[in-house]
């Protein structure tokens, strides 16, 4: 399931969730998707991976990447979405990072022995 697509300076970056033997796999890749162009691969629970992908998406948008509609994978013309700017963008990034940090602190893997 494709989560998002972003257009950068020269290429399109996409993220999606895929079934995996150990659960769900998050892949962040340059399009077209090829094994040697996967930038990030994580396996875990789908909801956690969706939040991770959302944080990455927002960070890229804040750096100037432009969001493309997911319908483009079905042969339709890509539609550009309006970027968040100013205080809305800052609050969005801050809340996403705070939630990620809070979840990481609560998880048993994140605790130091």
Could you read off the pLDDT of 38-82 as tens digits, one per residue? Answer: 888 899 988 999 999 999 999 888 888 888 876 544 444 444 455
Distance CA 83, CA 54 (A): 14
Looking at residues 18-23, what average pLDDT do you find? 88
Of 47, 73, 60, 51, which Cα lies nearest the Cα of 7? Answer: 60
Q: Which has the closest alpha carbon to 26: 2, 58, 61?
A: 2
Contact between 7 and 65 (Cβ < 8 Å): yes
Largest Cα span, the chain: 52
Whole-model pTM: value is 0.58
What is the rounded distance in angstroms from the CA atom of residue 49 to the CA atom of residue 62?
Answer: 20
């Amino acid at each position: 399931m494709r989560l998002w697509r972003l257009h950068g300076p020269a290429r399109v970056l996409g993220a999606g969730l895929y079934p995996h033997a150990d659960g769900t796999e998050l892949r962040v890749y340059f399009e077209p998707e090829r094994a040697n162009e996967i930038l990030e691969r994580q396996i875990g629970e789908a909801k956690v991976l969706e939040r991770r992908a959302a944080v990455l998406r927002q960070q890229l948008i804040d750096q100037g990447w432009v969001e493309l509609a997911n319908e483009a994978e079905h042969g339709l013309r890509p539609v550009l979405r309006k970027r968040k700017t100013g205080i809305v963008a800052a609050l969005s990034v801050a809340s996403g990072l705070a939630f990620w940090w809070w979840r990481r602190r609560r998880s048993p893997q994140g605790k130091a022995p």
